[in-house]
Amino acid sequence: MPGNRKTPIWTDPDDAPELTDDFFARAALKAGDRVLRPAQGTLTKPSRPKLDLRAYDRAKAALASGQEELIPADMLAACWPEKAR
């Protein structure tokens, strides 16, 4: 019967998470341009280095043409671990 069917409650995927006291405790405290207390926790962790896609394309072309010696060793190890020197 259609009246007995349970429908799931819809939640908006664009809803922002609740702003908790912990969120505000970790945030940077500023007065104008002056930082009174820097941010703490996950906001201050360094991010992964960005991969230069043009360098990746050049490295891929060098690899395809058999010129592996033109590819920096760290890029070779990161992108093609099986070919690392």
Lowest-confidence segment of 42-46, 61-65, 69-73 by average pLDDT: 42-46
Calpha distance 59→33 (Å, rounded): 43
2-55 per-position pLDDT tens digit: 566 677 788 787 888 888 998 888 888 999 999 999 888 876 677 776 667 777
Calpha distance 29→41 (Å, rounded): 14
What is the secondary structure of 26-83 as a DSSP string?
HS-EEETTEEEE---GGGGSPPPPPP-HHHHHHHHHHHHTT-GGGS-HHHHHHH-GGG
